[in-house]
Amino acid sequence: MKAKMHVMILLVVVILLAAPMALFSFETFDKYPSFSYEIGAGSGYSSDGGFYEINAALNTHLQSWLVWRNSAFFRGQTEADDFFGLDTSMQAGSRVRAGDRAWLDYHGGAGYRFTSIGKHAPFAEAGATYRAGGLRLGANAKYILYELIGEDRENEFVFSISISGSTSGTF
């Protein structure tokens, strides 16, 4: 119950902090690479008990269909020590028009999780985002493959929601 309460509080805070940035941001990727940002919160359950994660990501759009995502995160846990880390991944995706100024983006990819406690592991993820103007609401599923590298941890499934915006830029 306590973990669920933390997740709800975090989601409200994330939305209140991100909404002003998302509403005033825009995306005009005339050149690549370009970048966007997102912040989000997620929750799940592992052998260490329930947990929540909050994250802030910088996405480098290499092409209209290919994104390199780097997401710093913090994980709070109910039955183990909290930790932080970085998820880095390559994702491919596309979009479908959902109205005059609305789109449904979908993506999938693989990456690697680096943590402050040394529990590094590969992961696979997929998700979808609804965009309307500068505001984006997304849902993402991530499966962390600890057993693949022989860790003494069970694999984990993390479901998250995010609110985001983007800003254009080239480098």
Mean pLDDT, residues 3-7: 48
Report whether pLDDT(112) > 90: yes
Report whether pLDDT(59) > 80: yes
Domain ranges of the chain: 2-166
Tokens describing residue 21: 């940035």
Beta carbons within 8 Å of 123's beta carbon, 6+ residues apart: 87, 89, 110, 111, 112, 113, 142, 143, 144, 145
Query: What's the CATH architecture for 2-166?
Result: Beta Barrel (2.40)
Q: How far apart are the first and last CA of the chain?
A: 46
CA–CA gap between residue 152 and residue 14 (Å, rounded)? 33
What mean pLDDT value characterizes the chain?
79
Instruction: Convert the pLDDT of each residue in 26-49 to its tens digit.
Output: 344 678 888 887 888 888 877 778
Instruction: Convert the pLDDT of each residue in 71-111 to its tens digit.
Output: 999 999 988 899 999 999 999 988 888 888 888 888 999 99
The confidence band for 167, taking pLDDT boundaries of 50, 70 and 90, is: very low
Burial group, residue 155, by CB count within 10 angstroms (0-12, 13-18, 19+): middle
